Structure formats: C-alpha cells, structure tokens
Amino acid sequence: MSSEFPLVVALHRLADALRSTGLQLEIGDVAAARDVRDELAHQIDDYLVPRLKRLDAPLLVVLGGSTGSGKSTIANTIVGHEVSAAGVLRPTTRAPVLLCHPDDQPWFAGGDVLPDLPRLTGETTEALTRVRSGAGSVLRVVTVPELHPGLAIIDAPDIDSVEEANRNLATQLLAAADLWLFATTASRYADAVPWDFLRQAKVRGTSLAIVINRIPPGAEQEILPHFEAMLADADLGGVALFPIGQVELVDGMLPAEAIDELGRMLVGLATDAERRSEVVRATLHGAMDSIDSRVRTVAAAGDRQNRAVDELRQSMERIYRNTTDRLSDDISSGHLLRGEVLDRWQELIGTAELMQAVQSRISLVRDRVGSFLRGRPAATAEVQGEITSTLERLLVDYADGAAAAVSTSWRDLPGGTQVLGGDRSLDRSSEQFRTGASSEVRAWQDDILGLVRERGASKRTTARILAFGVNSIGVALMVVLFAQTGGITGGEIAIGAGTAGLSQTLLSALFGEQAVRELATEAKHLLIDRVASLLEIDANRFRTKLWTAASPPERTVELRDALDEYERAR
Ligand SMILES: Nc1nc2c(ncn2[C@@H]2O[C@H](COP(=O)(O)OP(=O)(O)O)[C@@H](O)[C@H]2O)c(=O)[nH]1
Ligand SMILES: [Mg+2]
C-alpha cells in the first residue's frame, strides 16, 4: 500500500503533532504525559504505520520482563543455541537482538519496523563499540534457520533496568510488538513494575502471553493459583500462562521440554496465518482504540502548559502596566516637590518682591522676574539637577518594585520558579534600566525645553522667553507638572500657593493658563512614554525567560485536529 493511504498520512501527522508538543514546564503530572507522548509517537512509527502498510508482515513477539526473569535464557532455548556470545554483549544492553528466519530478514533489516533503531547485522563487537561510543541503541537482526518463517522474537532489555535508556527502549520495543511474551519468576511475579506493564497491555488490548519462570519443584500448586488470582483481579484471567520449573541450565539453555508448550504456541502462530492475523488484529485495533485517550492526555497536558505560561505572562504584564499607571499618578502627586533644593526654588521665586510683581502687572513680572532669574542661573541648574536625580530615583524604585513583584508572583505560580531558573538578577531592575533612567530623564528635560521654545515661537513670545531663560521656564513647567493632581490649576492658583502655584503664575503670565495646562499635560505624556519604553526593557527580560523555558506555545489545536483526521481516516 502506498504512503498516500489516508490512515497512514493521518498517523504521521499525529506523530509529528505529538513530537512537537514540548511539555517543558514541570507542572502537574507532566512526567506521565511526556511518557504517553513519547510512547505513542514511537508506537505510531515503530508499529502502527508499518503494520498498517503490511498486515501480512511477519508477527513480532517481544520478550519482555524484569531483570533476571529468564528472557535471554528462553530466547536461547527457543532458538536452540546461544544467540549472543556470553559476556561480550548481553541483550540487556542497548543492542537488543531480533531473531528471525532468513526469509523474514529483509522485512526486519529494512527500515519499516522500529525505523529509528539502526540495524546491525555484523559482529557483536561492532555493536559494542557503537553502544559504548554513546551513539545510541541499535537493533541486532540475527537470522536463525531453526525459527519458522512468519514469526520473529526480540529479546528486550529489562523493564526495571537501572538505566533509564534501557527502560525506555524496553517500553519502545514492547509498543512495537504484535504479541507480548512477558517473563516473570516465581519469586518476583508480585513486583509492581511488571503489573504496570500488564495493566497497560490489558487497557490497550495487546495480545499477551506470560511465562512464569523458575518455579521451585513442588511449589507449582501454591504459586500458580495465586498468580492466576492476581491476573484475574487485573482482568487478565484468560491470558495464556506458561509455567517453567527451576531446572539446571545446560549451555545457558533450558532443557527443550521445559518450553514445549510455549514452543508449540509459537510454532502454531508462525504456521497458522489465520491465528497470526487474529493476534495481529487484536493488538493493532487495541493500539488504535487507545489513541484517542492517549492523545487527549497529551493535549490536556499541553493546555495546562499554555495556561501556566498565560498566567505567568499575564501576571507580569499586569504588574508592569500597574507600575506605569502608579508611576504616572505619583509623578503628578506633588511627591517629587519635596526636598531642600526645591524649597530654595520656592524661596527664590517666592520673594516678596517677585510675588508683588506677579500680582501687580504682567509686564512688570516679565521684567523683574526675568532679570531676577537670569541673575541666578546656578539656582536654576541646581533645581533641575535635583529634579533629575529625584525623578531617576523614583523610576528606579518603581522598576525595582516591579521586578521584585513579578519574581515573587512567578515563584508562587505553577512553573514560575522553573522559568526564572534561579536568576536572582530578575529580583530588581536591570542595569540597562538604571543607566537608561538617567539618560531618559535628561532627554525628557530636553523635550521640555523644545516644547517651551516651540510654544513660545507659536505664541510670538520668544523674546519674553529668552528674557526669562528657557531653562528657568523649563524648571517651572516641571514643577507645575509634578503638582498637576494637587488641584493647583487655573483659578485655584491662590489656594495652591507654594512652589507649584508660583511656577504656574509665572508660566501663565507668559503663555496663558490654558497653554500652561496643555504644556504640562504634554510634558507628562512625553515622560510617561519614555518611562514606559524603559520599563519594556525590564519586562522583556521576563518575556525572554518565558520564551526560553516554554516555547513555542503548545499547538494543542493541531494535536486535536490531527486526532480528528485520524478518527475520520479510520
Ligand atoms: N538454574 C536456572 N537458572 C536460570 C533459569 N532461568 C534463568 N536462569 C539464570 O538466571 C540468570 C538470568 O537469566 P537471563 O536469561 O539472563 O535473564 P534476563 O535478564 O531476563 O535475560 C542467568 O544467570 C540464568 O543463567 C532457570 O530456569 N534455571
Ligand atoms: Mg537478558
């Protein structure tokens, strides 16, 4: 059948969608979901696709079970001689052996079944070199003329191996089997790990046969009923069970009669096409039926990842948005007008002489105040400097607060600690923000002087502005803006007398009240814009962390669409 076969196309799409589901954040039972994802993606490639392409392909029996349960001994006994040179490379390592009749060699040596496992048909030392060099697992395909055509056996690694790679490989191989031949022993059959696998075989409808090995002489009457009761409890009551007694091994093999019954079962399968296809179909349909809930498990885990990322992002965006808002309020709250230097500015422009001038006649104000201020340029520069540093401190305080708030909030949210990755530099503002704050405040002060010049020109008040000095007017404007929410506007000048009130009076004398309000508002917007883009630098540090730790977003829609396409193709 061609690869255009819609079911195969749908399965490929599903495997791709599974593989691109990252599940990077350690939230909830993500480890289990990752296992489901990996195992299903493998099973699609290793088993479902090749099996669907060739339903009459030889039956693959995978011999699985715990360490020392006798898998290799049984495989050797079935074949009739030791298939792997003892002590050189035992099949419990990452070079499992596939035994098949020479007629079936082309099918198994080709890349259809278990396509990601390189084949090795040469010497064991080659396999050893490859595995030891860290190149990963290989599948040794060994032809055995004694076997019947139509049936192959893999001696799988231990399901309870101490090495994770071995355990994963055992799982991968079992998921590629048409029939599990599961080995356990009289002393180990109650262990937890085998039962996890057996229950899975049951859930998936995988064809299964069990060998219970090394039964001490006379213990059969006691052990078998107990084991059978356990199987019945696991809803595995009808499973074919092959007891093997504890006997002396000869050349690493059991006496032929010990596996008589098992051998007959295997030969029966190899020679009877109908029975073989029953076994194949049971496992195939079981695996295909299990796809829906397995994909949904992965998709649900993907949704949880996306939700966690959204929550982290939203918390961060909210904190930075609030910071900008609060800062904006604080700037015009009058808070910045505290400080000795500003008091002196007040004293400077608030002398009785000036106040009188301001209150009597505008022209007088222009002349007197102008000459007054021009005569004290150092005072203006000092006030400007004080404003600069107070404002800078304020910005850094807010940025520090925002960074600390995001870090704290993230540590409390699922996945947040992992995303932060122990980076304590995120607990405060960035270096870039702190240097940026000082240059942005200076740049903003230049903005203000530009505004003053521009408005002055349009109002044809250039001469007056020059008379006062642009810098003094700029300072006065900043002072007014810092008190904007203090009620010191328009007709309230008299009530709001003080630094801001005086500054406002001066500016109103020059530009008119309405223009002063507009100037202050515009100056504030310019400042907030600069601060907002500065805060973006810090917010971006968190966005980068999120992107690095959990990206791209899980495409669970694609996963579910691929599942739908698969269901339709079925
Ligand atoms: N005496 C005896 N030893 C056995 C029997 N089955 C396995 N063994 C021994 O148990 C150990 C583990 O067996 P092996 O086939 O390598 O188990 P595997 O890890 O499942 O492949 C080996 O030393 C075997 O010689 C048996 O029925 N009788
Ligand atoms: Mg072994």
Q: 544-563: b or e for each residue (b if 16 or more CB lie within 10 Å)?
A: ebbeebbeeebbbebbbebb
Task: Give pLDDT, residue 497.
Answer: 44
Question: What's the distance, CA 89 to chain centroid?
Answer: 38
Task: Give pLDDT, residue 542.
Answer: 97
Protein residue whose Cα sits closest to atom 14 of ligand 1: 70
Give the DSSP letter string of 460-472.
T-HHHHHHH-HHH
Residues 567 and 551: their CA atoms lie apart, in Å, by 28
The answer to whether 107 touches 57, Cβ cutoff 8 Å, is yes
Protein residue whose Cα sits closest to atom 9 of ligand 1: 70
Mutate to test the pocket of ligand 1, among 89, 249, 251 (most ligand atoms within 8 A of CB): 249
The answer to whether 139 touches 119, Cβ cutoff 8 Å, is yes
Residues 54 and 104: their CA atoms lie apart, in Å, by 13
Q: Over 50: is that where the pLDDT of 488 sits?
A: no
Q: Over 80: is that where the pLDDT of 489 sits?
A: no
Instruction: Give the model confidence (pLDDT) of 443-466 as tens digits.
Output: 999 999 888 888 776 655 666 666
73 lines ligand 1 (CB under 6 A): yes
Atom of ligand 1 at shortest distance to CA of 252?
25
Instruction: Give the model confidence (pLDDT) of 361-407 as tens digits.
Output: 555 555 655 566 666 667 778 888 888 888 999 999 999 999 999 99
Q: For 333, which DSSP code?
A: S
Task: Give pLDDT, residue 495.
Answer: 32
Q: Name the range with the highest mean pLDDT among 190-194, 219-223, 355-359.
A: 219-223
Mean pLDDT of the chain: 86
Task: Give pLDDT, residue 162.
Answer: 86
Task: Give pLDDT, residue 458.
Answer: 65
State the pLDDT confidence band at 111, using cuts at 50, 70 and 90: confident
Contacts of 569 (CB under 8 A, 6+ apart): 6, 7, 9, 10
Three-state SS for 361? Answer: coil
Residues 555 and 496: their CA atoms lie apart, in Å, by 59
Task: Give pLDDT, residue 294.
Answer: 96
For residue 257, give the amino acid letter.
E
- Tell me, in angstroms, the distance from the centre of ligand 1 to residue 63's CA: 14
70 lines ligand 1 (CB under 6 A): yes
Residues 73 and 450: their CA atoms lie apart, in Å, by 90
Lowest mean pLDDT across 227-236, 294-303, 360-369: 360-369
Residues 323 and 332: their CA atoms lie apart, in Å, by 15
Q: Which CATH entry fits the domain spanning 57-271: 3.20.20.100, 3.40.190.10, 3.40.50.300, 3.40.630.30? A: 3.40.50.300
Per-residue pLDDT, averaged over 282-289, amounts to 95
Protein residue whose Cα sits closest to atom 10 of ligand 1: 68
Starting from the edge strand earliest in sequence, which strands make up the sheet with 151-155, in order?
119-120, 139-143, 97-100, 151-155, 59-65, 179-185, 207-215, 240-245
Residues 541 and 54: their CA atoms lie apart, in Å, by 53
Protein residue whose Cα sits closest to atom 6 of ligand 1: 70
Task: Give pLDDT, residue 83.
Answer: 74
**Tokens at residue 113, please?**
């079944």
Task: Give pLDDT, residue 88.
Answer: 41
The label of the residue with tokens 């990842």 reads: 305
Task: Give pLDDT, residue 375.
Answer: 61
Residues 195 and 199: their CA atoms lie apart, in Å, by 6
% of the chain with per-residue pLDDT over 70: 83
Residues 439 and 534: their CA atoms lie apart, in Å, by 11
Residues 199 and 205: their CA atoms lie apart, in Å, by 10
185 lines ligand 1 (CB under 6 A): no
Residues of the chain with CATH 3.40.50.300: 57-271
Task: Give pLDDT, residue 305.
Answer: 96
Closest by Cα among 266, 186, 198 to 237: 198
